Amino acid sequence: MSTLFDQLGGQQGIEQIVDDFYKRIMADNTLNHFFANTDLDKQRRHQAALFSQIFDGPNQYTGRQMEKVHTGMNLQQQHFDAIAKHLGESLAQRGVSSEDTNAALARVSSLKDAILNK
């Protein structure tokens, strides 16, 4: 049975999704300030590794825990919702089925409390 990682196009697919995802984030004035001092190449690599892990692909994420990464950022529900919307759009752009998109967004939503430090 193929994994969500496979359905999203494997490593190459994940990297393309992440590239599109960050283009959308950086064009969003409600979010881009969070990344003002971020090395985006490094950020994209970390994001691709995290997505690989949570979408049942190779576990290559070596970054900090979600709670630590997002501490002090004062992220709110509307920020999380905007990120999820951009991810959904990036998945659609890649031609991912609505079923797989919903599955991917559900995986990301399972990290929401850690990301929002709730």
| Residues of the chain above pLDDT 90, percent | 76
Residue 70 clears pLDDT 90, i.e. is over it: no
Tell me whether residue 86 is annotated as binding.
no
**Mean pLDDT value across the chain:** 92
Write the burial class of residue 6 (CB in 10 Å: 0-12 exposed, 13-18 middle, 19+ buried): middle
The pLDDT value given to residue 66 = 76
Instruction: Return the SS3 of 22.
Output: helix
What superfamily would CATH give domain 4-115? Globins (1.10.490.10)
Structural domain boundaries in the chain: 4-115
pTM of the model: 0.91
Task: Give tens-digit pLDDT for 100-116.
Answer: 999 999 999 998 998 88
